[in-house]
Amino acid sequence: MYPLLFKYGFKRMDPEKAHHLAFNAIRTAAATPAVRGGVRLTAAPKHPSLRIKALGLDLPGPFGLAAGFDKNAVGIDGLTMLGFDFVEIGTVTGQPQPGNEKKRLFRLPADRALINRMGFNNDGSAAVAARLARRTAGQRTPYRPNAIVGVNIGKTKVVPETEAIADYVTSTERLAGHADYLVVNVSSPNTPGLRNLQAVEHLRPLLTAVREAADRTTSRRVPLLVKIAPDLADEDVDEVADLAVELGLDGIIATNTTISREGLQTPAGEVEACGAGGLSGAPLKARSLEVLRRLYGRVGDRGVTLIGAGGIETAADAWERILAGATLVQGYSAFIYEGPLWPRKLHRGLAELLADSPYATLADAVGADVRTDA
């Protein structure tokens, strides 16, 4: 059903409008007890073999929804209902902002990719923190189990680079107490100057300040991760890995979107007409995997959890990232093309791949290919 709905419905709509329509449907289903109960039973079966511990958390599986889909923490229950093992909200900024001018989201169906220059459109960290507080205060039921929620934070566009640390600290102080883990996003190409913060001389004081802010905000130690771009040079990837070990960072997400347009099937004129923005989806597979393998080769078993993201469409893609060193994996763009049953399909395939492998548990498989290569 979904391929037909996408072809004759969503594909003909403005991508951002289609996103809001689909997301509203998910949220409505989650708010309707009879619907959400049936969806959880049919669309999101859990495979016990996929349970894994990461970041001090016990997760039902390794597959999460990447930041960008639910920017404002308004649909966590619906997304968990569909079968995502964890949901990363955001990117959330210190101040509310509308993002860049529309049109700012584009599909490249021939490449199973998206180009976006959304610009961190969100309600701001104060509003999102209040929403998360109300949600966690609500009573749990069998149809609304606890969800693992990551919170991705970024820099407010109007804040100058010289005040970026204070902006991140503001968001941290508001959100850390509501996050199962916290992600510092310094890798979106859609906020001017943001990627400059990936340089270790800027990244070290930023991550140190965020860590200190999280620790003084809540007595619970909130895992802290950084999300990096696939466009970093190899030596810069190495420096981020070394910094993560030095600072005792809990994890790295590899990778965000790319500014590259190489190797696309979509005609060059159509791609050029989309304009600037981050490219996500299938074209990222090779570079994101390469960055992940490099990170794992650098940090190994030194306590830094790696999350693989970028171009994950199938169970085979997720399995490849796990063998390359990812304890957890995330997707987003394929959700647009595959529809609401995508988590179910990926879980089933991943459980089958694990069962056919020589590994007793998912944790045993993490980094197996890189360890073999070494």
Annotated binding-site residue numbers for substrate: 71, 116-120, 185, 190, 256-257
Binding residues for FMN: 67-71, 91, 152, 185, 227, 255, 281, 311, 332-333
The vertex-102 CA angle with 98 and 105, nearest 5°, equals: 100
Distance CA 80, CA 266 (A): 33
Catalytic residue from among 125, 187, 188, 280: 188
C-beta neighbour count of 155 within 10 angstroms: 29
Binding residues: 67-71, 91, 116-120, 152, 185, 190, 227, 255-257, 281, 311, 332-333
Distance CA 123, CA 120 (A): 10
H helix or E strand, kind and range, residue 168: helix 164-175
Question: Could you tell me which of 149, 157, 168 has the C-alpha nearest to residue 55?
Answer: 149
> Helix, strand or coil for residue 208?
helix
Question: Could you tell me which of 74, 57, 80, 99 has the C-alpha nearest to residue 20?
Answer: 74
The vertex-84 CA angle with 218 and 356, nearest 5°, equals: 120
Pairing of strands 328-331, 113-116: unpaired
Tokens for 343, please give them.
């988590």
User: What is the chain's length?
Assistant: 374
Distance CA 311, CA 292 (A): 13
280 is catalytic: no
Q: Tell me the catalytic residues.
A: 188
